[in-house]
């Protein structure tokens, strides 16, 4: 079964909007796991506008499932991850001022950089994943980096889902089949939601994990975490 990892960046954004410690990130993390989340994801950015480095360091106290840290492997990020040793590190090619992740790695152009970064993490027993677009050449390039997994960037799928879901998912199916053939594990994230997740999960072979934050938090404003987490798990149980 595909694991659900909840990205809690938006919880930190809400906390930071007023200062103080409401909502309490650690308490929310405990509750999400109690409601069924099988992993916790964070993406600390250099300006620490949502998740702070101190949050990343505190979370191992309460994460009882898998702990996934996303980010661009600049020196500060790399040092943080190597200190924490989470279950998984997901490398994302964000510019420092990016509002959100908006593209996957060019695994051919950045092969040597990724290979070096991935080697550092794997030597410390950290599972590695890299953020990629659903392009066959990028999947083939990922193999050369030594990564354990890829994370498929799902913005194009989400954008095309309502208009033509079969066409929207086709490149993701092809990319996933290529990854399976090459022995690379498959994660997905960024634009999945209650509306489009079930179809994606039903059609992507050997999907190991989905990481979902923005949509899940938005849906939970209306329905509550206690209801939304089981709804996501139901959509993954195909």
Please state the pTM of the whole predicted model: 0.95
Neighbouring residues of 50: CB distance < 8 A, sequence distance ≥ 6: 9, 10, 12, 13, 16, 43
Using a 10 angstrom Cβ sphere, with 0-12 exposed, 13-18 middle and 19 or more buried, the burial of residue 63 is buried
* Location of structure tokens 């949509």: 215
Tokens of 127: 């599972």
Given the residues 50, 190, 209, 219, select the one marked as catalytic.
Answer: 190
Given the residues 70, 151, 209, 219, select the one marked as catalytic.
Answer: 70
Predicted pLDDT at 49: 86
**How would residue 30 be classed by pLDDT, with cut points 50, 70 and 90?**
very high
Tokens of 190: 């960024």
For residue 49, what is the DSSP state? S
Query: Does 149 sit behind a cis peptide bond, omega within 30 degrees of 0 on the bond before it?
Result: no
Report the CATH number at residue 142.
3.20.20.70
Tally of domains in the chain: 1
CA-closest candidate to residue 184, choices 133, 146, 135: 146
Residues in the chain: 238
Give the mean pLDDT of 199-220: 98
43 annotated active-site: yes
70 annotated active-site: yes
Q: How far is CA 145 from CA 28, 86, 204, in A?
A: 35, 20, 23
213-230 pLDDT, tens digit each: 999 999 999 999 999 999
Given the residues 43, 151, 209, 219, select the one marked as catalytic.
Answer: 43
**DSSP per residue, 126-168:** -EEEEEE-S-HHHHHHHHHHT-SEEEEE-HHHHHHTTT-HHHH
Mean pLDDT of the chain: 95
130-174 pLDDT, tens digit each: 999 999 999 999 999 999 999 999 999 999 999 999 999 999 999
42-74 pLDDT, tens digit each: 999 888 889 999 999 999 999 999 999 999 999
**Residue-range definition of the domain harbouring residue 134:** 3-236
């Amino acid at each position: 079964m595909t694991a659900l990892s909840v990205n809690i960046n938006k919880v930190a954004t809400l906390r930071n909007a007023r200062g103080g410690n409401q909502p309490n990130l650690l308490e929310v993390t405990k509750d999400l796991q109690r409601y069924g989340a099988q992993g916790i994801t964070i993406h600390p950015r250099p300006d620490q506008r949502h998740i702070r480095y101190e949050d990343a360091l505190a979370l191992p106290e309460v994460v009882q499932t898998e702990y996934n840290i996303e980010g661009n492997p600049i020196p500060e990020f790399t040092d943080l991850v190597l200190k924490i040793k989470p279950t998984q590190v997901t490398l994302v090619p964000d510019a420092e001022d990016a509002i959100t992740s908006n593209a996957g790695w060019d695994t051919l152009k950045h092969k040597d950089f990724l290979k070096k970064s991935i080697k550092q993490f794997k030597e410390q027993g950290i599972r590695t994943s890299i953020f990629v677009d659903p392009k066959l050449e990028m999947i083939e390039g990922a193999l050369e980096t030594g990564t354990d997994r890829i994370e498929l960037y799902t913005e194009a799928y989400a954008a095309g889902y309502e208009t033509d879901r079969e066409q929207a998912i086709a490149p993701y199916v092809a990319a996933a089949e290529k990854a399976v053939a090459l022995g690379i594990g498959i994660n997905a994230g960024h634009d999945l939601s209650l509306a489009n997740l079930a179809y994606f999960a039903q059609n992507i072979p050997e999907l190991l994990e989905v990481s979902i934050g923005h949509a899940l938090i938005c849906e939970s404003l209306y329905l509550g975490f206690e209801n939304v987490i089981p709804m996501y798990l139901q959509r993954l149980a195909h």
